A = this chain, B = another copy of it.
Amino acid sequence: MQELKIIKSTTLKDKPEQVGDFGTIFTDHMFVLDYEEGKGWHNPVIEPYQPMLVDPASAILHYGQGIFEGMKAYKTNDGLVQLFRPRDNFLRLNRSAERLCIPQIDVDFVLECLNKLIELESEWIPTKEGTSLYIRPYIVATESFLGVRPSHKYKLFIILSPVGAYYPEGLKPVKILVEDKFVRAVAGGLGEAKTMANYAASLLAAQEAKSKGFSQVLWLDGVNLKYVEEVGTMNIFFKINGEIITPALNGSILPGITRDSVIKVLKSWGLTVNERKISIDEVVEAFDNELLEEAFGTGTAAVISPVGILQYKDKKMELKDFESDSIAHKLYDFITKLQYGKENDTFDWIKSLS
């Protein structure tokens, strides 16, 4: 690989006093890496954040051959910059790449470039409680060609966006609608890859749920519309009669990094998590028998989202008021403390920028 080139912006933007809506403000620089068949990945560069020229026949405008990741950089009270399991995000990017016929990246090299980018932009990392710098690495097909086959050209970008606290006033339970008509993914499809198609597939269901007052949908499996898969942009956990359950990774569920962290943290606390099939009927039955103790989502954006209301068809399940001794609350506390350097990291998950 060539050496990373850094082209600094001659004018810097004003950093916002208050971080507004998620994903609308971007920092001064971005990282770009090119791929061309025969040449491999080449031309790594940190350059001013700017629009790019895209040909109207570019593959990415037609066939959805694109993948992405989402992660965050946190600033500790001591002013240290910390990343949470960044290597795992790039390893997953490579797994998504395989499914989408996109060439593999050199994870160590790209991680190095990311570190340099964040170093350069470290003043963009907000410092208020719960805020962070969202990191969006993505790869898109860029060959100008209308035939349907894997592109011969790609671009990898990393862009950065300061984001506010997901829960500025403390954890807030969400209202979730169990989706019984639309399907996100099915085994043999793209469900376990972090690729555009899954998000495109979710839009209409999410829009209909929002119009009914719900914040996200809970997806069921595409074969029987029976087994729980995941929530909108999160994985899902239940606590039923003392048993902690999350749907097993079956090929159509996104293997969330927060999901994996939650399982490992719970195990370190001596608790068992059963990764298994769980039907929506089992959830309803548990609720009816007053055994559904908790339900919560896990994801990069919110870390933990306790479920306050879960509605399946006409059945509205109100979960007990979210209490601070719940597993969801303890997990949220523990993982966010790790991320902000307030908890000793025995998992080797935190990567501090030198």
Contact = CB atoms under 8 A, between A and B. Distances in A.
Interface of A: 21-24, 26, 30, 49-57, 60-66, 68, 99-101, 134, 136, 138, 140, 144-150, 157, 159, 161, 181-190, 195-204, 206-207, 222-223, 225, 232-233
Counting every copy of the chain, the complex holds 2
Contacts of A63: 196, 199-200, 203
Contact of A148 (B60, B146, B181, B202): B202
B189 A182 contact: yes
Contact of A183 (B52, B148, B189): B189
Q: Which 10 A-B pairs have the closest CB atoms?
A: A23-B146, A64-B196, A197-B197, A183-B188, A64-B200, A63-B199, A51-B53, A186-B186, A186-B222, A64-B64
Contacts of A140: 61
Contacts of A22: 146-147
B188 A181 contact: yes
Contacts of A186: 183, 186, 189, 222-223
Given A182-B188, A188-B182, A195-B200, A52 B53 contact: yes
A208 to B, nearest CB: 10
A61 B281 CA distance: 38
8 contacts: A53-B53, A62-B199, A65-B203, A66-B200, A149-B207, A183-B186, A189-B222, A222-B223
A54 B56 contact: no
A283 B334 CA distance: 58
A134 B62 CA distance: 15
Contact of A188 (B147, B197, B225): B225
Contacts of A52: 53-54, 56
Given A52-B54, A52-B56, A53-B51, A138 B195 contact: no
B145 A24 contact: yes
Contact of A206 (B30, B149, B187, B203): B149
A261 B223 CA distance: 31
Nearest to A188: B183
Nearest to A99: B204
A161 B146 contact: yes
Nearest to A140: B61
Contacts of A206: 148-149
A59 to B, nearest CB: 9
A101 B203 contact: yes
Contact of A201 (B51, B66, B146, B190): B190
B188 A222 contact: yes
A207 B148 contact: no
A149 B202 CA distance: 9
A148 B56 contact: no
